[in-house]
Structure 1
């Protein structure tokens, strides 16, 4: 297989199913899907057992007991469980366009990681998207989305741009090419070398911190936010709190100031 898709989830079966259908119709099908499950109840496993015979790629479920927001830890376990040398990271609420895997593989290069973005959908459209809309790619059609209430905006260009226009927008965007957990990829040996995600960090910046350590290791990044497209389904964020943000900010400050490459609490802690 050419790549492993590592996808985080937590008790979100409706969204997760939509995302898996998105991966089932990729133009490049030679990859495995690893569900990094941060303690979901049995319904998630039941869903995966139902979907597994219906898709062509391996669907692997890596689960840990619910101990609060421990995404970094479950992502590290998923890295260990992966069987390929190239890892693509996303979340279980981000439906990929059919060329998502092909795009990441096209732009991959030794010495780099890839930085993609997302297109946020409102809750009413997130709920309205059906399996058929995913299989036929309606949810990436700006006209279809506008007809269902999406506001007209220049941001919609992210969905309609292609070819040279998408490359040009990647080049001129002021957004930095950081490691974004919903849409990023890199070589497995680079991630293992920095000991994966920092397990001291809960919600807020743990993805960026990993990317900062990749930079400290000497890697560069490529911007593909207008080429590798996912639509982000809306949801509540009850796990956000100020104390965690402050703790994570201090860790990131230390990573940048002291050029930390390998986190002390990461993959090898598992």
Structure 2
């Protein structure tokens, strides 16, 4: 079965231009450069606009910036905006604080399979090392095995083997639904499957579970999961946790949709496309 030929990498960001710059620089340095970048901006201020403009001016791949008004946490809508702007048949979602390894796009392309969503994982970086990486503009992609191991031993990174080993495409598919490793900061899905379930659901307010909701609805629609572990890890830059006041109510919605076999977003790609027409 053929792999994805055209890929859009959608990077969600909000008022963290230093982190976004580190992420995009790592995207510029990918082994596979046959993709486009969409910056999906959830209402950042002008300093992010300036950073994106500078990156756009020297991007080695096609790149766009979509922006929406800042009226609260609306990551679902930002990702839908990015999706509508994307040209690729296969879409990889990452966050603007998740630095990909050099083979990130290549491995996502290798794992792509029709009727499947690939969910990856993160390597968590410490507050101290994150500050150092951003202040000194360190290139984490260039670290060798010993340097990565030292980071792990020092508690600066919570994983080591996952950054060194790339496992083959065997045993990655699951015919049963699992909640593990559902992170929209590292997820790849066919555009046709996003259209099938109406994309991310913008009715989710506040932090949490809009990513689980998407994967649940995809599964209900017959889209299976593949694990991207030991192939598509990203380095997650430290930040203070967002307010999670809506987490319990959002989770309740997802649990009900899993039980009811819901497939469609209440407010998703179709509604956003119609409002822009």
TM-score, normalization: structure 1? 0.89
Kindly report which structure 2 residues correspond to 1:145-164, keeping only aligned pairs within 5 A, or say none: 146=150, 150-151=154-155, 155-163=159-167
Deviations 1:78-117 (A, max 9, x none): 1111011110000000000000000000110111111110
> Is residue 184 of structure 1 aligned with residue 184 of structure 2?
no
One of 175, 195, 198 as aligned partner of 1:195: 198
Higher helix share: 1
- Of the structure 1 ranges 38-47 and 54-63, higher mean CA displacement relative to structure 2 is found in 54-63
Which one of 80, 101, 109 corresponds to residue 105 of structure 2?
101
- Count of paired positions: 262
Match of 1:259 in 2: 261
Matched, 1:25 2:29: yes
SS at match of 2:61: coil
2:139 corresponding residue in structure 1: 133
Find the residue that maps to 1:263 and give its secondary structure.
coil
Distance 1:126 1:78, change over 3 A: same
Q: Distance in 2 between matches of 1:200 and 1:182?
A: 19
Q: Say whether the 8 Å CA contact 1:94–1:233 is kept in structure 2.
A: yes
Q: CA 1:23/1:162 → structure 2, altered by over 3 Å: closer, same or farther? A: same
User: Is the alpha carbon distance of 1:257 and 1:57 closer, same or farther for their aligned partners in structure 2, counting shifts above 3 Å?
Assistant: same
Judge conservation of contact 1:115–1:177 (CA < 8 Å) in 2.
no
1:16 to 13, 20, 34: 20
Unaligned 5+ segments in structure 1 are none
Q: How far apart, in 2, do the equivalents of 1:57 and 1:153 lie?
A: 30
Per the TM alignment, residue 22 of structure 1 is displaced from its structure 2 partner at its CA by: 0.6
Is contact 1:115-1:178 (8 Å) kept? yes
Runs of 5+ consecutive residues of structure 2 not aligned to the other structure: 273-277
Q: Would the alpha carbon gap of residues 153 and 265 (structure 1) be closer, same or farther in structure 2, given more than 3 Å must change? A: closer
The alignment's TM-score, normalised by the length of structure 2, stands at: 0.87
> Secondary structure of the equivalent of 2:235?
strand
Matches within 5 A, 1:17-166: 17-129=21-133, 130-134=136-140, 137-138=142-143, 141=145, 143-144=147-148, 146=150, 150-151=154-155, 155-163=159-167
Checking the alignment, whether the CA contact within 8 Å between 1:88 and 1:183 is kept in structure 2 is yes
**Partner residue of 1:245 out of 223, 242, 247:** 247
CA RMSD of aligned residues (A): 2.4
Alpha-carbon contact 1:196-1:210 (below 8 Å) kept: yes
**CA 207–149 in structure 1, closer or farther in 2 if over 3 Å, else same:** same
CA apart distance, 1:246: 2.2
